[in-house]
Amino acid sequence: MKYAEITGCGSYVPPLLMTNDDMSKVVETSDEWIYSRSGIKQRHYSHVSTGIMGWLACERALAAAGVLASDIDLIVLGSTTPEEICPNTASFIKNELGAVKAAAFDLNSACTSWFYGVNVASDMIKAGSIKKALVVGSERLSLAMDWQKRESCFLFGDGAGAIVLEATDQKLGLLSGHISCIPNSRECLHLPSWGMSPAHFTNDIFISLNFEGQEIFKSAVKGMSDSIATVLERENLTPEDIDLFIPHQANIRIIQSLAKRLDFPMEKVIVCIDEYANTSAASIPLALCDALADGSVKPGMTILTATFGAGLTCGAGIIKWGDTVAPAKLSNKSIPEFDGTVFDLMKDSFSHYRIDAEHLLTKV
């Protein structure tokens, strides 16, 4: 039987920071208010597109794996913020990489998109239809923030993370994955008119996130717990058998509640929400890349991951790590930095939501 080993990991995090103190210049909030409710200290905002961020993360993942772009059979982009609906953004990444023979598609299940993509690509490798795949999560959610909603505008950041999957005869990679969608829960996390609705053909559309925190918390913890129970049972494992837990980085309280349900020590949980905020489809691969970089991932580890997103989609997986924890090489590709501050970058967005952008620039 074939398996799909993770052989390389790469990420891109935009250099521009929006700290909680910066956020307090835009909306009525504070560092203490945000951090105590979410665990977030800052978020990164991008001056380039979802596709460009995804391309660089893939370049770095390919270098880490020691794999050529021309050898890749499939590229899956998980994202809620693609550049265009047609053609897909994965085809842009394919062309930028020079992955000449790769099929390419976008997958949108909100924050779970990258994990859903890993499930799909791993199953295709196990079935024998492909041998090598790139799965990338890339998000530019800063474009979708409603600056008049203090309860949600601080939650999200931008970034991209990617992995290379390769066919192997060893029992490695995603051993079991469970994906689900909680019924009748779409409206509690919702971006109305974020798509092809007729409203997009007017000049008056305002993107505004509907966010029902208590309902999301309850449904997310239960949905992920159920998926975790399913994959542990499939692999005949208990929480004690798990070496590392890499959850979706949405809210520190959700992560802590999930760990408590599992009776899983927080010392074995990867937490980076303070650094990146919620980067949606990019959050788990970003956390994985950080865990590899700081030595938290070790050869032979059994890793648990769990995620949820708008829909409400949920999932969990058991990953068996191989021997490779250091990159084969480093990519020399890069993205030019933005010439200005984060307030310069977001000036048009602030103005769109009737925030006095010029006043903000004078406060920096």
Is position 278 annotated as part of the catalytic site?
A: yes
Q: How many CB atoms lie within 10 A of CB 337?
A: 10
Q: Which of 248, 251, 289, 314 is catalytic?
A: 248
Is position 111 annotated as part of the catalytic site?
A: yes
Q: Exposed, middle or buried, 223 (CB in 10 Å: 0-12/13-18/19+)?
A: buried
Structure tokens at 105: 């598609």
Number of DSSP helices (H) and strands (E) in the chain, helices first:
12, 13
Phi, psi of 109 (to 5 degrees): -130, 35
Q: Exposed, middle or buried, 293 (CB in 10 Å: 0-12/13-18/19+)?
A: middle
Is position 9 annotated as part of the catalytic site?
A: no
Q: Which of 58, 108, 278, 314 is catalytic?
A: 278
Q: Which of 9, 44, 58, 111 is catalytic?
A: 111
In three state form, how does the secondary structure of 51-74 look? HHHHHHHHHHHHHHHCCCHHHCCE
Phi, psi of 83 (to 5 degrees): -65, -45
> Catalytic site residues?
111, 248, 278
